[in-house]
Chains A and B, each alone.
Chain A
Amino acid sequence: MDNEVKLHGFWPSPFVYRVIWALKLKGIEYDYIEEDLANKSELLLRYNPVYKKVPVLVHAGKPISESLVILEYIEEVWPHNPLLPKDPYERSVARFWINFATDKGRSAVRSLFWGGEDGEKEAAEQMFNFLKIIEEQALGDKKFFGGNSINMVDLIFAWFACWIQPMEQLVGIKVLEPSRLPRLHAWVKNFKEEPIIKENLPDPERLLEYYTRMRSNRMSKPN
């Protein structure tokens, strides 16, 4: 049985990028398969029958779904260039922030960018409060969430490095303001300049075009 690694993905997805970065940071060779989410492949539906989503990692023919599950798997199978601390307590702190970004982050994003104009101000405040907690308690004075080098927490928060900008442009609200969130703003810059990360970032114009289309589709649909 070959040990081939395949990744089923979709180019605008930050969840897919997390996996791409993890694989590349660990120097793992893989085949990438671009999925058209409007026309999902048979393989994807077979590999992820529960959610029918990307990313799906396939290792030696065995599929793994859900980006956080995939990242933990990659970390365990290829432990070199670690993305999580060794100490169980430090790991629990990293996982706490990953969980926080996943739960609170997702709902903050949803309210602000897909919530519609009513309550936009509250949504923006909610997003700011969320980011303030991250800046003060998760990042602190460190260069990265992982300390001097990036780790899994950075990969999860990367949504705010690249995907928040087109959203900000679309709704006309700047959330990640350098004066209000200086350390987080610095982190965005540092993250995007990291080797491997900088060669693997989505094209900002293409992203903006994609989100513009998505947003107008969603907003025009009656609820």
Chain B
Amino acid sequence: MGEENKVILLGNWSSPFVKRVELALKTKGIPFEYVEEDLSNKSALLLKYNPVHKKVPVLVHNGKPVCESLVILEFIDETWQNGPHLLPKDPYERAKVRFWVAYIHQLLESMAKLYTPDKEAREKALKEVHEKLRVLEDGMKENFPGGSPDVRAKKLEILDIMMIATVGSFKTHEEVLGVQILDPERNPLTFSWVQALNELPVVKESNPPYEKLIALLQSLKESGMKFYN
């Protein structure tokens, strides 16, 4: 690969934040080199490129690092202008999308709280997750006036990416925690959207190995360790 426009992604197989960036790069057809980081033994490169947080993902473009997944997504959309766009063009539509991107980000934070050995804390977190999913369901009805999102023909946009990276693996969480997170009756739109997204080849190939993820989530549940990094 030539030095010009060289893209490196420092990541970890289990991180939903890395997943966001990976899907964005793939959907825009941007060639990149992927470097797997062992989060218990972070590389000198990672510490150099993200001294403030020491976290993945880090996107390195022509030797310059960009940190924080949502900042990276905006950077990708602004830098590679040809081809599919992650965000809409109209400023008001962009504002609506950014609002919901931030909301789905918060949903992920609530889901992370499920991973605690404290039963009471877990029940409280589950209520929070269900409430956020309810708000999300109502909010997304505007985006899909037809009722059911048809994602097959189109390229992934930022909300699709956020959905996959956050709720896409809901079944693994349900299996490990023994709770229902996404109810098709209470969240029909979200459920069908996630199902449709999970059928796409780019999503399937980007999914972490099921058993490996289950094992990781199981140990997180038992130890109450913080989710990623």
Residue of B nearest to A62 (CB): B92
Establish whether residues B99 and A88, one from each chain, have CB atoms under 8 Å apart when the complex forms: no
Kindly list chain A residues whose C-beta atoms are within 8 Å of the C-beta of B99.
50, 64-66, 69
When C-beta atoms are compared, the residue in chain A nearest to B92 turns out to be A62
Stretch at the interface among B15-23, B71-79, B114-122, B154-162: B71-79
Contact residues in B for A137 (Cβ distance below 8 Å):
51-52
Task: Name the segment of A18-26, A70-78, A211-219 touching the other chain.
Answer: A70-78
Residue of B whose beta carbon sits closest to that of A66:
B99
**A68 vs B98: C-alpha distance when bound (angstroms):** 9
Contact with B along A89-129 (1 / 0, CB 8 A): 10110011001100000000000000000000000000000
Kindly specify which of B40-48, B60-68, B198-206, B213-221 makes contact with the partner chain.
B60-68
Distance of A95 Cα from B218 Cα, bound (Å) = 35
Asked if residues B91 and A73 are in contact (CB atoms below 8 Å), the reply is: yes
- Shortest CB-to-CB span from B11 to chain A, Å, is 17
Give Cα distance in the complex from A69 to B102, angstroms: 9
Whether, in the assembled complex, B6 has its beta carbon less than 8 Å from a beta carbon of chain A, the answer is: no
B202 to chain A, nearest CB (A): 24
Nearest chain B residue, comparing its CB with the CB of A65: B99
Q: Which residues of B contact A50 (CB under 8 A)?
A: 99, 103, 135, 139
- The tally of residues in A whose CB lies under 8 Å from a CB in B reads 23
Q: Is B212 at the interface (CB under 8 A from chain A)?
A: no
Query: Which residues of A are found within 8 Å of B67, using beta-carbon distances?
Result: 96
- B-chain residues with CB within 8 Å of residue A133 when the two chains form the complex: 52
A contact residues around B66 at 8 Å (CB)? 89, 92, 96
**Are B71 and A64 in contact (CB-based, < 8 A)?**
no
B70: CB under 8 A from chain A?
A: yes
Is B95 in the interface zone, CB < 8 Å from A?
A: yes
A72 touches B78 (CB 8 A): no
Contact of A64 among B70, B72, B95, B139 (CB under 8 A): B95
With CB as the reference atom, state the residue of chain A lying closest to B67: A96
Q: Which residue of A lies closest to B70 (CB)?
A: A99
Find chain A residues with CB under 8 A from B103 CB: 50
State the CA gap A73–B66 with chains docked (Å): 22
Report whether A73 and B92 are in contact in the complex, using a CB–CB cutoff of 8 Å. Answer: yes
Least CB distance, B19 to chain A, in whole angstroms: 18
Give the contacts of A25-81 with B (CB-CB under 8 A): 50, 59, 62, 64-66, 68-70, 72-73, 76-77
8 sample A-B contacts, Cβ–Cβ < 8 Å, listed by A number: A64-B92, A66-B98, A88-B75, A88-B79, A92-B72, A96-B71, A100-B52, A137-B51
